[in-house]
Amino acid sequence: MKQKNIDTIKTLITVAHTDGNYLGNSWHEILKCISQLELAQLIGTGVKPRYISGTVRGREGSITGTKDQAPDEFVGLGLVGGNVDWKQIASIQESIGETSSQSVVVAVDRIFTGSTRLDGNAIVDFVRWLCAVSMDELLSTTHPRMFSLQKIVEISYYNMGRIRLQWSRIWEVIGDHFNKVGCNPNEDVAIFAVDSLRQLSMKFLEKGELANFRFQKDFLRPFEHIMKRNRSPTIRDMVVRCIAQMVNSQAANIRSGWKNIFSVFHLAASDQDESIVELAFQTTGHIVTLVFEKHFPATIDSFQDAVKCLSEFACNAAFPDTSMEAIRLIRHCAKYVSDRPQAFKEYTSDDMNVAPEDRVWVRGWFPILFELSCIINRCKLDVRTRGLTVMFEIMKTYGHTYEKHWWQDLFRIVFRIFDNMKLPEQQTEKAEWMTTTCNHALYAICDVFTQYLEVLSDVLLDDIFAQLYWCVQQDNEQLARSGTNCLENVVILNGEKFTLEIWDKTCNCTLDIFKTTIPHALLTWCPTCGDTAPLPPSPVSEKPLDTISQKSVDIHDSIQLRSADNRQQASLVPVSTVGEEVSKIKSTAKFPEQKLFAALLIKCVVQLELIQTIDNIVFFPATSKKEDAENLAAAQRDAVDFDVRVDTQDQGMYRFLTSQQLFKLLDCLLESHRFAKAFNSNNEQRTALWKAGFKGKSKPNLLKQETSSLACGLRILFRMYMDESRVSAWEEVQQRLLNVCSEALSYFLTLTSESHREAWTNLLLLFLTKVLKISDNRFKAHASFYYPLLCEIMQFDLIPELRAVLRRFFLRIGVVFQISQPPEQELGINKQ
C-alpha cells in the first residue's frame, strides 16, 4: 500500500462527510472502504490476532504464521497473492500502519457522528448500505467481524433525536438486519445482536410513546422474530431476560410494545426449558397483577394478548404447577374486566368496528372465556378440569352483566366441549373425556342456566335439551346417566317458571330420549349362524311361564346408583358401572356382540334413570319411596291411613303440567313397562342372551324397569283422578286406570316364579291402597272390574301386609255393594 492509496481513502471519507446527502447508493462503496480500512487497522496495529486467520499461538503466546499461506485479510484486501514470504507481509504491515493514524480515525468517526446531519432520505440510504456491509462482514465463516454492526448501534444513538416518521423508515432497515443477525448460527454474533437490541430498545422506551403512534411495536418486533426462529437455548433465554428487564424498569413508558412483549412470552410459554418458562411466567404474572393495576389504560390494547399468553402457559404439559397458576391469573384478569368496563367502552382502535356497549365483551370477556375453552380442549385432565371450573365460576360470578347476544356467542364456545369431531380419537381417552369433562360441563351448564333462567330460557333451552339428548346417545354410561339427571335438575329447579311452551319442549325431549333408548335389540338379537355359544355352567330347568327365577339377574343390578345430591360424581368412588359389566361380557362374547351388548346395557340404564327422572320431576325426589314405606307400614298396622300426606308432595312439578303433558309422560312409562314385560316373558330370548355372555352368570331380566315404570304411571293417574282441578280429564283417567290396572293384574296372575311375584309386592300395595282411598261411587266401578282378578290372586302365597290390604279391599266391597255392614271403626273408609 502506497501513500496515494491512503490519500485516496482520506479524500473518499471527506466527500462522504461533506456531500453525504447526495451519495445515494454510492454509500455502499464508501462504507465498504471503511470496513476494509478497519480490517487494515487491525493488521497494522497487530493487536487483534484472533481476527487474522492462518495464525497460531505458540507456546509462549507469541503469534506465528503458517509458512506457506498468507493470512486471509491480506488476500481479502488485495495486498498480496496467495503464497508469499513473511518479510513481505511485515513490510505491508508497517506501511498500512498509517491507516491507524489519528487523522484517519477521526475522519471515519466524523462520518458516523455526522450522520445526524443527513436528511430523511440520505439517512435511510446510509443505514441500508451500512447494514449490507455489516451482513458481508458477518457472513465470513472463519472470522465474522462486528465492526459495522457496532456502528449501526452507534448511529442509532446519535440519531435518537430524529422525528418518529423518519425513525420508522430507518428502523424498517435496521430491524430487518437485526432479525437476520439475531438468528446467526454463530452464538457470539447473535448474543451481540440481542444485547445491542436491548440497549437501543431501552433508549427508545425512555423516550416514551405519544398517543396514536406504534413505534414501540416496530423496534421490539426483532425480539419476537429471534424468539420464533432461533432455537438456541442461550439466545432464547437472553431474549426473555432482556424483555423482563424492560418490563421491570420501563413498564410506565411501554404502550404499543406490550403486544410484542406478550408475543415473546407466548413463544417462551411453550418452551421445554424450565428457566425460560419460569422467568417468562414470573414476568407475565408481574404484568398481570401489578402493571395492569397501575397502567390499565395503556395496556388495554394488549389485554387479549395477555390472556392468550397465559393460556399458552396453562397448556404447557411439562409444568403443571405453572399451568394451574396461569389459570388463576386468567381468573384475575376477569376481575379487571368487571371493575373497568368503562375503559373497554372508551377504547378505540383502527381495526375495531364494534359498538361501544359490546367492546367490553369483544375485548374483555370473550377472550378470557375463549382461552379457557382452549385450555379445556388442549390440556390433560387435571388442568382442563381446573379450566372448566374457572370458566363456569366466571360465568356465575359476572354473568349478571352479560347481554343476551353475548350468551349466544359464549355457548357456541361451551358446546364445543361436546363436539364429537374434537374429542380424542383414542377410545380410552374419549371415554375418560366423556366421563369427566363432558360430565362436569353438563352439570355446570345446567347450573348457569338455572342461575340466569330469565335471560337464558330463550337463548339456551333448545341447545340444552339437544345436548342432553346427545349425551344419552353416547356409548358412555356415566354421561348417559348425567344427561337424565341434568334434565331432572333443570326441570325441578326451574319448572315453576316454565311457560306452557317450555313444558311442551321438556315433555318432547323426554319422549325423544325414551324412544331412542328402548333396547329393542334385546328382543330381536339372535346368535349368528355357526356360532357356538358357550354352554352355561349348569343346566336350568325351564318352565314355559317361569319368566324370572331366583337365579336370574336384573340387568340394572350392580349398576351405579345416584348419589345423595342426585349427581353422578365421576371417578370419586369405585362403583360397579356398565364398563365393568362390559368387561365381564368380553370373556364370553365375541367382539361385535361385546359392542352391541355394552350399548344395550347403557340403554337399559337410561330407561330406568328416565323412569326415576319422571317420578322425581312430577312428585319430587324421594316422595314415592316415602309413600311406599308408608303404605307398607299402614298394611303392617292393618289400617289404611287416609290422612297421611307426604310432606314434599306439592314440591313436585305435577301442578304445572297440563293433563295432555302428563298423558304424554304416561305413554312413555307404559311403553317402557310393556317392553320390559315382553322381555321378561320371553324366556327363550333371555336364555340365548345368557348363553352368549350377556350380563353375568344368570339369565338377564328387566324387573326394576317393569315395576318402577308401572308404579310411576299409577301414581300419576291416581293423582289426576283425585285432582279437583282436572275434572275434564277424569273420564279419560278412569278409562286408562281400568285398562292399566286390569292388564297389570292379569299379567301378575301369569307369573309362576315366586321371586318375580315378590318384586310386585310394593306395586300391588300401591294399587290396592290407592283404590281403597277413592270415593264409593268410583270404587264400585273399579272393584267390579278387578274383582275376578283379585279373587285369583288370593290363591298365591302372599306376604301378610298384602293379605291385610286385600282383606280390607274385600271388606269394602261388602260395604259398597251392600253385602255386609262391618264395624265403622275397623274400616276407616273415606265416603264421599
Which sequence spans correspond to the domains of the chain?
A: 1-159, 161-251, 257-402, 521-528+546-772
Measured CA to CA, the distance from residue 677 to residue 703 in angstroms comes to 8
Cell of 438: 363432558
Decide if pLDDT at 530 tops 60. no
pLDDT average, residue stretch 297-326: 94
| Helix ranges, 474-570 (H) | 477-494, 500-517, 521-524
Dihedral (CA of 343, 345, 347, 352) sign: positive
* 140 CB neighbour count, 10 Å cutoff: 14
pLDDT average, residue stretch 315-338: 96
Query: Treating both helix axes as pointing N-terminal to C-terminal, what angle do 233-250 and 215-229 enclose, rounded to 10 degrees?
Result: 150
Which of the two residues, 453 and 73, has the higher pLDDT score?
453
pLDDT average, residue stretch 564-572: 43
Decide if pLDDT at 212 tops 90. no
pLDDT average, residue stretch 322-330: 97
Residue 373 near residue 391, CB atoms below 8 Å? yes
CA separation, residue 362 to residues 259, 329, 370, 787, 815 (Å)? 17, 19, 11, 72, 76
pLDDT in the model for residue 506: 94
The pLDDT tens digits for 631-642 are 888 888 876 554
Measured CA to CA, the distance from residue 94 to residue 45 in angstroms comes to 9
The highest-confidence range among 18-27, 341-350, 576-585, by mean pLDDT, is: 18-27
Q: Confidence class of residue 740 from pLDDT cuts 50, 70 and 90?
A: very high
Cell of 461: 333451552
**Beta pairing class for 55-57 and 63-65:** antiparallel
Please, what is the Cα angle at 422 between 419 and 424, to 5 degrees?
A: 120
Residue 700 near residue 689, CB atoms below 8 Å? yes
List the single range of 32-36, 258-262, 342-346, 545-549 with lowest mean pLDDT. 545-549
Contacts (Cβ under 8 Å, ≥6 apart) of 548: 680, 701, 703, 751, 753, 755, 756, 759
Decide if pLDDT at 301 tops 70. yes
Measured CA to CA, the distance from residue 700 to residue 553 in angstroms comes to 5
Q: Confidence class of residue 408 from pLDDT cuts 50, 70 and 90?
A: very high
List the single range of 369-383, 442-456, 626-640 with lowest mean pLDDT. 626-640
pLDDT average, residue stretch 349-361: 79
Residue 624 near residue 615, CB atoms below 8 Å? yes
pLDDT in the model for residue 1: 60
Decide if pLDDT at 673 tops 90. yes
Question: Which string of b and e fits 771-789 if b means at least 16 CB within 10 Å?
Answer: bbbbeeebbeebbebbeeb
Decide if pLDDT at 4 tops 80. no
pLDDT in the model for residue 553: 76
Measured CA to CA, the distance from residue 636 to residue 632 in angstroms comes to 6
Decide if pLDDT at 504 tops 70. yes
Residue found by looking up cell 298396622 in the block: 637
Measured CA to CA, the distance from residue 147 to residue 168 in angstroms comes to 24
Residue 379 Rama label (left phi>0; alpha psi -120 to 50; beta): beta
Which of the two residues, 485 and 553, has the higher pLDDT score?
485
Q: Tell me the CB-side half-sphere exposure of residue 559, using CA atoms within 13 A.
A: 27
Measured CA to CA, the distance from residue 785 to residue 805 in angstroms comes to 18
Q: Confidence class of residue 571 from pLDDT cuts 50, 70 and 90?
A: very low
The pLDDT tens digits for 757-787 are 999 999 999 999 999 999 999 999 999 999 9
Q: Confidence class of residue 339 from pLDDT cuts 50, 70 and 90?
A: very high
pLDDT in the model for residue 704: 94
Cell of 450: 338455572
pLDDT in the model for residue 589: 53
Q: Confidence class of residue 96 from pLDDT cuts 50, 70 and 90?
A: low
Which of the two residues, 74 and 728, has the higher pLDDT score?
728
Contacts (Cβ under 8 Å, ≥6 apart) of 789: 742, 745, 746, 749
Measured CA to CA, the distance from residue 620 to residue 612 in angstroms comes to 10
Measured CA to CA, the distance from residue 736 to residue 647 in angstroms comes to 28
Return the CA Rg of the chain: 43
The pLDDT tens digits for 428-444 are 888 888 889 999 999 99
pLDDT in the model for residue 11: 85
Decide if pLDDT at 583 tops 80. no
Measured CA to CA, the distance from residue 695 to residue 689 in angstroms comes to 8
Q: Confidence class of residue 822 from pLDDT cuts 50, 70 and 90?
A: low
pLDDT in the model for residue 559: 55
Which of the two residues, 351 and 384, has the higher pLDDT score?
384
Measured CA to CA, the distance from residue 647 to residue 637 in angstroms comes to 21
The pLDDT tens digits for 215-250 are 888 889 999 999 999 999 999 999 999 999 999 999
Cell of 463: 341447545
pLDDT in the model for residue 44: 66
DSSP 152-208: HHHHHHHTTTS-HHHHHHHHHHHHHHHHHHHT-SSHHHHHHHHHHHHHHHHHHHHT-
Residue 505 near residue 576, CB atoms below 8 Å? no
Measured CA to CA, the distance from residue 636 to residue 643 in angstroms comes to 17
pLDDT in the model for residue 721: 94
Residue 717 Rama label (left phi>0; alpha psi -120 to 50; beta): alpha
Q: Confidence class of residue 331 from pLDDT cuts 50, 70 and 90?
A: very high
DSSP 17-76: HHSGGG-GGGHHHHHHHHHHHHHHHHHHHT--GGGSTTEEE-TTS-EEE-SS---HHHHH
DSSP 408-436: HHHHHHHGGGG-GGGS-SSHHHHHHHIII
Residue 699 near residue 540, CB atoms below 8 Å? yes
Q: Confidence class of residue 66 from pLDDT cuts 50, 70 and 90?
A: very low
What's the whole-number average pLDDT of the chain?
A: 83
Residue 304 near residue 261, CB atoms below 8 Å? no
The most distant pair of C-alpha atoms in the chain lies apart, rounded to whole Å, by 149
pLDDT in the model for residue 536: 41
Contacts (Cβ under 8 Å, ≥6 apart) of 571: 435, 436
| Helix ranges, 290-417 (H) | 292-299, 303-314, 320-339, 341-346, 356-359, 366-378, 381-398, 404-414
Q: How far is CA 619 from the centre of its chain?
A: 36
The pLDDT tens digits for 30-51 are 999 899 888 877 776 665 444 4
CA separation, residue 312 to residues 289, 305, 446, 478, 616 (Å)? 18, 11, 29, 31, 44
Q: Which of 97, 134, 113 is nearest to 17 (CA)?
A: 113
pTM of the predicted protein model: 0.82
Decide if pLDDT at 832 tops 50. no
The pLDDT tens digits for 787-810 are 999 999 988 888 899 999 999 999
List the single range of 8-22, 285-299, 377-391, 639-653 with lowest mean pLDDT. 639-653
The pLDDT tens digits for 148-173 are 999 999 999 999 888 888 988 999 99
What distance, in Å, lies between the first and last C-alpha atoms of the chain? 134
Decide if pLDDT at 423 tops 80. no
Measured CA to CA, the distance from residue 286 to residue 667 in angstroms comes to 62
Decide if pLDDT at 622 tops 60. yes
Q: Confidence class of residue 60 from pLDDT cuts 50, 70 and 90?
A: very low
pLDDT in the model for residue 591: 63
